[in-house]
Amino acid sequence: MARHHRERHRTGRIGWLRAAVLGANDGIVSTASLVLGVAAAQATHSNVVVAGVAGLVAGAMSMAAGEYVSVQSQADTEQAELARERTELHADAQGEHEELMAIYVGRGLDPALAHQVAEQLMAHDALGAHARDELGITETLRARPLQAAWASACSFAGGAALPLLVTALTPEAQLIPVVSGSSLACLALLGGVAARVGGARVMVGTLRVTFWGGADHGGAPRRHPRTRHAPRWLPGAAGPWWAR
């Protein structure tokens, strides 16, 4: 009985995985940084939460729009190149055959075999052969704007929800250290999961994402004690320090 050899490759995940990791990382870092900044400004706990929710909504919409526009630009370029290649095939099929043949010779085929391969591939799907081997455009790796926008928006919202949930559940006095620590833990988890899904080394991915996230949080502001009495230089106080 013949055995079917099956292989599962991860290259098909590249498009949405890149957008998802970018969105989740940005969601965690930007929302945590926003929450820390507002908390350090001595805002009330409810105001900090409202700012975090606003950051989540605005960030998800911004990520979706930005990802769609950028990936659509890539898709437009691909379509323009395919249209140009289609025109060249109609205008000079023999020249395109020789061009494809030269590509295969450069990859190690002898000229006779390269001529035969180019001839058969062009007879089957000339534009597809040139798109794949000359332009580097494949069905697996082609630009998908809607997929990228959806993955980026959803992952940003999911990433932003983590520090936002911690903010909502944490007492005001412990907000800054707890949000900072939990955000680093979430970044470490994100790096590990992304590396696992992509087939890379989990420890390397975890350390990379955690390091850069920690570098971002390294400049996070600290809460200063609330002023319990009027500063000495305000009206009604005893006067500025230099007048004492």
pLDDT-derived band at 228 (thresholds 50, 70, 90) equals very low
Span 164-176, mean pLDDT? 91
* Boundaries of every domain in the chain: 14-217
pLDDT digit string (tens) for 56-76? 999 999 999 998 999 999 999
pLDDT-derived band at 211 (thresholds 50, 70, 90) equals confident
Dihedral pair phi/psi, residue 141, rounded to 5°:
-105, 5
Span 39-49, mean pLDDT? 90
pLDDT-derived band at 223 (thresholds 50, 70, 90) equals low
Task: Show Cβ contacts of residue 196 under 8 Å, excluding neighbours closer than 6 positions.
Answer: 202, 205
pTM exceeds 0.85 for this model: no
Please give the structure tokens belonging to residue 82.
Answer: 């395919």
pLDDT digit string (tens) for 175-207? 888 998 898 898 888 888 878 877 778 888 888
Q: Are 27 and 156 a contacting pair, CB within 8 Å?
A: yes
As a whole-number percent, the residues of the chain with pLDDT over 70 amount to 82
pLDDT-derived band at 235 (thresholds 50, 70, 90) equals very low
